[in-house]
A and B are shown apart, each in its own frame.
Chain A
């Protein structure tokens, strides 16, 4: 009687295509995902409380007339000069409010540059007046810088 030799079939899971599938998935995720920037300058507005009256001389008024064209308390200054001025004023009074007013035709990044500077110098109170507020304040004798929220 002839002895039959059994051919053993090894139990294997074919994984040769696994890498291809995985790389296809990577390519899919890379093409379809949109990376979002989740960082920025936070700006908190006060609650509906009575407005705090600030004397004109109490607030620092930064007027942005264009990129690199700044007026600090009605004097022309560069960004480093603003930093020095704010630093000096904040040493005298750390709670000094800052009003940042921008002209309508100025690019947005110029405002961000100043707001960034205020954040870096840890200014506690930064006010960005709306154009209607600027129009109202312009009617007062002291102009902008008279009242802030």
Chain B
């Protein structure tokens, strides 16, 4: 009587393509991610109509407590404590590029007079291009 040899199959999970998938993911993240020089987290106001703003625009972030962070769009953001500092910053940016766009990245719940103070400084310094940063309207739970 012949005895049958049982061939042992080794259990292997093929991981050769794992690195390719991971590198594809890295490339995807690197291409789609845009870094923001301003790190202040704000809850933006919702809007349906939105336009893309300049990538190198100067940013004025206003937090929920009225705290402010500024960046010329290239350098990392700096916290400021007074509107005089903001005034100086706007002047410096506009001297270098009078057509520079300013993005106001304000928290949705700040009082209007806080926004107005920043807006007034921009108007007084003859800033021509302002963008008010918004986010897409979130889908309603019932929809």
Contact = CB atoms under 8 A, between A and B. Distances in A.
Nearest to A43: B130
Given A26-B29, A132-B120, A38 B34 contact: yes
Contacts of B129: 42-45
A41 B50 contact: yes
Is the contact region of chain A dominated by helix, strand, or loop, or is it mixed? mixed
A40 B132 contact: yes
B111 interface: yes
Contact of B35 (A36, A39, A115, A119): A36
B77 to A, nearest CB: 11
Given A26-B25, A119-B49, A120-B49, A40 B133 contact: yes
A42 B19 contact: no
Interface in B45-103: 45-53, 55, 103
Contact of B128 (A38, A47, A112): A47
Interface centre among B109, B111, B136 (most CB of A within 10 A): B111
Contacts of B133: 37, 39-40
11 contacts: A18-B18, A19-B22, A36-B38, A41-B47, A108-B109, A110-B112, A111-B112, A112-B45, A115-B132, A119-B49, A132-B120
Interface of A: 15-16, 18-19, 22-23, 25-26, 29-30, 33-45, 47-48, 64, 102-113, 115-116, 119-120, 128, 130-132
In order of increasing CB-CB distance, the 9 nearest A-B pairs are: A36-B36, A22-B22, A104-B113, A18-B19, A112-B45, A19-B18, A39-B50, A119-B49, A109-B45
Given A36-B35, A45-B123, 5 more contacts: A40-B53, A40-B132, A104-B113, A108-B107, A111-B115
Interface of B: 15-16, 18-19, 22-23, 25-26, 29-30, 33-36, 38-39, 44-53, 55, 103, 105-116, 119-120, 123, 126-136
